[in-house]
Amino acid sequence: MRQFLIVLSLSLLLIPQLASAGGNHSGMGAGIILGEPTGLDAKMWLGEDSALQAAVAWSTSSNSSLHLHLDYILHKFDVFNVSSGSLPLYFGVGGRLKFRDDKDDQIGIRVPIGVSYMFANDPFDLFLEVVPILELVPDTDFGMNAAVGGRWYF
């Protein structure tokens, strides 16, 4: 089981490298995510309104652990009107691997819901998200993550 988790973790890190971007919202962004979890974050646009987002982070909860996630997200650009830039609502589904120090590792399903402010003339965004999580392995349980962050696009 440990080897499966390691291979899956490495695959999650490589998927953004293999995806192709397109549309007005394009490219790959890298930055930080702060909250639960805290670490490095990346986003790869797949089209006008879809993207993959991933993180390699450290869980700050009572059971410290390495946290890896990958989500497929959709953006709705017509929910909030802003005078400059854009503020899409986003939502999606993904997976999470959590390698815990003092307990069995976990595998869960994430359902991220958030907003992302995209600056009009700068390759930068800021985001805020809440993420219900259904843990599947080793036990079924419900959890919640929440974080803020920012990414620079290149």
Output the CA–CA distances (angstroms, integers) from residue 112 to 11, 87, 122, 147, in the order listed.
Answer: 20, 16, 25, 10
What is the band of 23 on the pLDDT scale with cuts at 50, 70, 90? Answer: very low
Cα dihedral sign, 31-61-52-126: negative
φ, ψ (nearest 5 deg) of residue 98: -130, 115
Looking at the predicted structure, is the pLDDT value of residue 18 above 60? no
Q: What are the structural domains of the chain?
A: 2-153 (2.40.160.20)
Q: Tens of pLDDT along 118-133?
A: 999 999 999 999 999 9
Question: Does residue 10 carry a pLDDT above 70?
Answer: no
* Two tokens, residue 145: 């993550």
Quick check: pTM over 0.85? no
| Length of the chain, in residues | 154
pLDDT score of 105 more than 80: yes
